[in-house]
Structure 1
């Protein structure tokens, strides 16, 4: 199972903010991902990804930092990611104030 160094994780956090690790215990694989940028989200949300599976594949590809590529390529692992991939899509909570 791929494990990034503490220094590498710190560097990624400094550069990208939150870092997420996706692991498969069954296959002993893991990979690290960052949140998508606004430009990446525009592309992913523009209808170019016509299914949830295509959206998930494109999101993982765009946000990949390092690790075992089998997280994205092995069907059993990829299909198991499901809703867990939403961890990449959690953003700051904001307040709207009507004046």
Structure 2
């Protein structure tokens, strides 16, 4: 397998980020995942567990590589483990403001109002089949008061993952601990 600098540049223009994942004497080139890729992989995980998640992500993002990585467990299992690095996005910064909470992801800001149990109930109703991330998307759409243009891109995991984590934290400001007596 020979991948040229020109090929890598073409992939970058087409897909954005490109990654090389070497595993000892084998290597694979992967494109940067988007939210639809994560949704598909999490759906696979719901049906078939962590292995299905890894298989789906590897197959979906695969650009070029040694087929042994897909077929041979000695290569696949460490490759699957490395795919977790795609989830390493910077945390959102939250700040209480007059009418709610300001959430900053990278340099983009949005303001959301206080989340109620009815908001969560309505968001869950908009996702009756329990598809990954749809409840979070629906909840954000319900509570957002203002947002920069970056928040319109529902396929950008660099914005969406930190945003969803921030919204989750806003729902759980108080600490609860169940104690058996």
Shorter-chain-normalised TM-score: which range? Answer: 0.7 to 0.9
Q: Pairwise mapping of residues 1-99 of structure 1 onto structure 2 (< 5 A)?
A: 2-25=1-24, 28-46=25-43, 48-49=44-45, 50-90=48-88, 94=105, 95-98=108-111
For 2:63, what is the secondary structure of its paired residue?
A: strand
- Alpha-carbon distance between aligned partners in 2 of 1:88 and 1:54, rounded to the nearest angstrom: 16
Q: Which entry has the higher C-alpha Rg, 1 or 2?
A: 2
- Which piece of structure 1 moves more, 11-20 or 34-43? 34-43
TM-score, normalised by the number of residues in structure 2: 0.46
Q: Judge conservation of contact 1:35–1:89 (CA < 8 Å) in 2.
A: no
Q: Judge conservation of contact 1:20–1:88 (CA < 8 Å) in 2.
A: no
Aligned length: 95
Shift of 1:3: 3.7
TM-score, normalised by the number of residues in structure 1: 0.78
Q: Which has the higher contact order (CA 8 A, sep 6+)?
A: 1
Shift of 1:89: 4.1
Q: Corresponding residue for 2:155?
A: none
